[in-house]
């Protein structure tokens, strides 16, 4: 299976980092294709915990080649910091390539992110403040600077000379006391970053297609999740990229006929960070229990995440949009110990049951989740979960298996992996026929 895509089916933070790392063991390449350092993935290997924002999850493995595709927006300062921290902790890490076509996040994108949020007042998106939206804005407006231009100081300066007056105007439109941009300041700090990054820069579409021709295995690692997609998510409370499987083709330069499988990562419950609706959100003690037990606080911003029941309207929306061939269901351990579990099977909209996620947020706000109730399983310690996982699927609690079967039946999608704890050992893999 040479090209596998891993996608978040909810609002991000489904545990894609751990799942990607598991599949990365058998892959030659791990590739990111959208987003930037708004992402935050956590991987636990033995006692070591790694958190990355920009580098792909396979980067801790020496025999891998990790790629930052053209669809990303890259903050060079953050990337260099991650590279240098990685080199200290894992001297034998993966080979890294960065697309010459990826857009660069510059200091003015970060400032614009803050000014735009401020100007929205209570309607703010609750962005991660990393300049992601403004960088995609300048990309689409054709005033972005790409990595290939950025690493050449002369071109970088020329581009900035063309662009900065327009950026300054947009600053001033948002705030009368907007800071004055200084080209010399930006060039002197950032051209040094460009020189350091130059060694990694290449045409990654050529690299990846040659690898596929040689029958190498490529894992495409999605960031964020389907419900944060700029087209199919809870617009405008979304990120500025497409975290869907189809985005691999655009964001990595690989044709759709090359993709073999799409694995949808489903967290056993739902979480969301930032503003915007989440129909199954719980504001009671069950929500607090899940947040505390699951340590549901943002990897990038530390903000508490909204927590609630699993929403199968959302998961089915993801199955359709991504062409998901199997699931990896994560954080099943967190639900252990609750009295009972609820699963949202549809929304009641003025007396009619809706099964497709509505595009219009006004309609969504009038929807009430419709729940089915099923039994929960008991609580186990991290060590006990590992022991159970090592015995295989059959050894897992009956109620947990019923929960998994419920999800599979409702979505017509098999779950090939179940995760019951942060470590690699707390994972159950099931052979399924695809």
Q: Which sequence positions are flagged as catalytic?
A: 13, 41
125: contact with ligand IMP by CB under 6 A: yes
CA dist 291 and 267 (Å) reads 13
9: contact with ligand IMP by CB under 6 A: no
397: contact with ligand IMP by CB under 6 A: no
Note the helical H segments in 37-131: 76-89, 107-120
Identify the CA nearest to 127 among candidates 5, 61, 18, 36: 36
Least distance (Å) between residue 15 CB and Mg ion: 9
Nearer to Mg ion, 13 or 117 (CB): 13
13: contact with ligand IMP by CB under 6 A: yes
Can you name the residues that pair with 266 across neighbouring β-strands?
329
Residues 5-34, one symbol each (x = binds Mg ion by CB under 5 A, - = not), give: --------x---------------------
Query: Could you say which of 28, 83, 100, 126 contacts ligand IMP (CB under 6 A)?
Result: 126
Residues 285-314, one symbol each (x = binds Mg ion by CB under 5 A, - = not), give: --------------x---------------
318: contact with ligand IMP by CB under 6 A: no
Nearer to Mg ion, 2 or 58 (CB): 58
- Half-sphere exposure (CA, 13 Å, Cβ side) for 360? 6
Query: Could you say which of 2, 15, 17, 40 contacts ligand IMP (CB under 6 A)?
Result: 40
Nearer to ligand IMP, 302 or 351 (CB): 302
- Return the range that interacts with ligand IMP (CB under 6 A); candidates 35-43, 262-270, 327-335, 410-418: 35-43
Task: Pull the structure tokens for residue 396.
Answer: 């897992």
Nearer to Mg ion, 102 or 273 (CB): 273
40: contact with Mg ion by CB under 5 A: yes
Nearer to Mg ion, 40 or 246 (CB): 40
* Binding at 128: pick from ligand IMP, Mg ion, none (beta carbon under 5-8 Å per type): ligand IMP
CA dist 331 and 291 (Å) reads 12
Query: Could you say which of 9, 10, 20, 38 contacts ligand IMP (CB under 6 A)?
Result: 38
What are the two backbone dihedrals, phi and then psi, of residue 36, each rounded to the nearest 5 degrees? -160, -135
74: contact with ligand IMP by CB under 6 A: no
Task: Pull the structure tokens for residue 69.
Answer: 């595709």
CA dist 55 and 7 (Å) reads 16
Can you name the residues that pair with 417 across neighbouring β-strands?
328, 429
- Half-sphere exposure (CA, 13 Å, Cβ side) for 72? 31
Note the helical H segments in 147-233: 147-150, 153-174, 183-197, 204-213
Position closest to ligand IMP via CB = 274
Least distance (Å) between residue 431 CB and ligand IMP: 31
CA dist 310 and 272 (Å) reads 12
CA dist 248 and 341 (Å) reads 35
CA dist 127 and 91 (Å) reads 33
- Return the range that interacts with ligand IMP (CB under 6 A); candidates 64-72, 156-164, 237-245, 277-285: 237-245
């Amino acid at each position: 299976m040479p090209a596998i895509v891993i996608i978040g089916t909810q609002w991000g933070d489904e545990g894609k980092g751990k799942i990607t790392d598991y599949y990365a063991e058998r892959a030659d390449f791990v590739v990111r294709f959208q987003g930037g350092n708004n992402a935050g993935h956590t991987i636990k290997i033995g006692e070591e915990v790694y958190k990355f924002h920009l580098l792909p999850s396979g980067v801790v493995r020496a025999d891998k080649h990790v790629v930052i595709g053209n669809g990303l927006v890259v903050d060079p300062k953050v990337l260099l910091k991650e590279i240098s921290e990685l080199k200290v902790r894992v001297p034998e890490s993966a080979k890294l390539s960065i697309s010459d076509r990826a857009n660069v996040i510059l200091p003015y994108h970060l400032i614009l992110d803050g000014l735009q949020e401020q100007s929205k007042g209570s309607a703010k998106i609750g962005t991660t403040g990393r300049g992601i939206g403004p960088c995609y804005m300048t990309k689409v407006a054709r005033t972005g600077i790409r990595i290939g231009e950025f690493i050449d100081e002369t071109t970088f300066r020329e581009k900035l000379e063309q662009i900065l007056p327009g950026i300054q105007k947009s600053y001033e439109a948002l705030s009368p006391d907007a800071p004055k941009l200084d080209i010399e300041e930006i060039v002197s700090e950032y051209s040094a970053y460009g020189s350091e990054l130059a060694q990694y820069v290449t045409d990654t579409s050529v690299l990846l297609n040659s690898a596929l021709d040689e029958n190498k295995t490529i894992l495409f690692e999605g960031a964020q999740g389907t419900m944060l997609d700029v087209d199919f998510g809870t617009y405008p409370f979304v990120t500025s990229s497409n975290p869907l499987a189809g985005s691999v083709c655009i964001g990595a330069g690989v044709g759709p006929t090359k993709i073999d499988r799409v694995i949808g990562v489903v967290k056993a419950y739902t979480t969301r960070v930032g503003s915007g609706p989440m129909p199954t959100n719980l504001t009671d003690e069950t929500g607090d229990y899940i947040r505390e037990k699951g340590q549901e606080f943002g990897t990038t911003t530390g903000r508490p995440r909204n927590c609630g029941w699993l929403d199968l309207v959302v998961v089915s929306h993801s199955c359709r949009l991504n062409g998901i061939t199997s699931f990896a269901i994560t954080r099943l351990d967190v639900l252990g110990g609750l009295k009972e579990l609820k699963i949202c099977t549809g929304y009641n909209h003025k007396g009619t049951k809706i099964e497709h996620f509505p595009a219009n947020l006004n309609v969504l706000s009038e929807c009430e989740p419709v729940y089915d109730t099923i039994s929960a399983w008991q609580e186990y310690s991290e060590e006990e979960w590992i022991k159970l996982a090592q015995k295989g699927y059959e050894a897992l609690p009956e109620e947990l298996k019923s929960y998994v079967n419920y999800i599979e039946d409702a979505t017509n999608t098999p779950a090939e992996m179940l995760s019951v704890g942060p470590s690699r050992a707390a994972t159950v893999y099931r052979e399924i026929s695809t």
